[in-house]
Amino acid sequence: MKITFMGAGSTVFARNVIGDCMCTEALRDSTFALYDIDGERLEESRVILEAMRNTMGGYGKIECYLGVENRKEALRGANFVINAIQVGLYDPCTIIDFEVPKKYGLRQTIGDTLGIGGIMRALRTIPVMADFARDIEEVCPDALFLNYTNPMAMLTGYMLRYTNVKTVGLCHSVQVCSENLLKELDMEDKLEGRKELIAGINHMAWLIDLKDKNGVDLYPEIKRRIDAKIADPDFKDKVRLEYIKHFGYYCTESSEHNGEYNMFYIKDKYPQLISRYNIPLDEYPRRCINQIERWKKEYAELLETGVKDHTRSKEYASHIMEAVVTGNTYKIGGNVLNTGHLITNLPEEACVEVPCLVDGYGVHPCHVGALPVQCAAMNMTNINVQLLTIEAARTRKLDHIYQAAMLDPHTASELDIDTIKKMVDDLIVAHGDYLPKYF
């Protein structure tokens, strides 16, 4: 069996996911093909993963493929393809995504999923993934493509609508959503045996139903406790608790993400909201800088002290691959196309995040029905941007980029149309060859 990791220079993530495979009996004898366009980062991943492989019994083997010219061979014969690329990296592209909008008075927190940052990230990533798709269709047409790269809904939606690659998008948020909420509200005693339903879109999937082991609805008690947390000046997850207060439900992704997915919290005319809701502006660039420095230190320590055993994480990837290989059923929250209206009040062409069952025949999305109307409405403000960005990438029409930015809730709440178009033009120029030509 062959598992190909695209973007293997994402060393920490590659170590976690491939480490999960190495401690899974059904997967550990695989060939792990590492692909990246950065030789130094690829070598760091190889060194760590080889050391981990030897520590964990020496099963399987690792192969490295550097550069676009070797991409097809990295993919050839793969059973599974894991995607964790970041086109343009932190420097220069993430810097551009944040600094150019800042000149127009538009501030962001993460900028990788929605907003002008998410739009630009999608536009520079979709062409690369389209190239991946052509290679996969030729050299491993039956492979299952596990996408971890953001913006999740835009990239996964593109792959599912415009390629023949079997694709599911995977996030880190669904599996810890209700656990985080209950721990935040000092309700740990309700964790064991709880039942939940989560559905919506990536980073804004809603915890629609949460019951304890006896079938008691936990939302009334949750709602009783949230005001005290929101009033706590040091509490960080205020935006999501505000969602419960005003829309009735908690959502999957963190408050620093959701602070920029709407028109409510980051507002030039209301600067007090930033401190009131503990919204960390420029958070993603800060994380990138810290992660780069942290990895340099960690890599040096690993070389000196050696690599220790890996404990299987909560990441879905190894569990999905194990279910496909063994035929044993496993449940995930997956990003899939809304074909057949899995969520009845969202459009079929949207990429939705819903419960999915995985077995020897692949990934099977589950029908959810209608979301609460206010939750669907919030999702649609994001889906509008997602669909227009995909259309821009597909048609290369500049007007669709403008329209995506104009309909983005945060951008539109801060800037007028002419300013939005000027900002988009400046971003396109700044990205240079990282973007194709638009007309």
- By annotation, the residues acting in catalysis are 172
Taking alpha carbons only, the member of 89, 87, 150 closest to residue 351 is 150
Spatial CB neighbours of 372, under 8 Å, sequence gap ≥ 6: 206, 208, 247, 248, 249
112/115 Cα distance (integer angstroms): 8
CA-to-CA dists, residue 317 to 125, 337, 338, angstroms: 21, 19, 21
Question: If 0-12 CB within 10 Å is exposed, 13-18 middle and 19+ buried, where does residue 367 land?
Answer: exposed
Spatial CB neighbours of 373, under 8 Å, sequence gap ≥ 6: 345
210/213 Cα distance (integer angstroms): 10
Q: The tokens of 108 are what? A: 């962001």
Q: Contact 132/311 with Cβ under 8 angstroms?
A: no
Q: Any idea what the Cα angle at residue 272 is, between residues 268 and 273, rounded to 5°?
A: 80
Q: Contact 226/245 with Cβ under 8 angstroms?
A: yes
DSSP per position, 393-418: HHH--HHHHHHHHHH-HHHHHH--HH
Taking alpha carbons only, the member of 405, 385, 394 closest to residue 204 is 385
Helical residues (DSSP H) of 214-258, grouped into ranges: 219-231, 238-247, 255-258
198/283 Cα distance (integer angstroms): 26
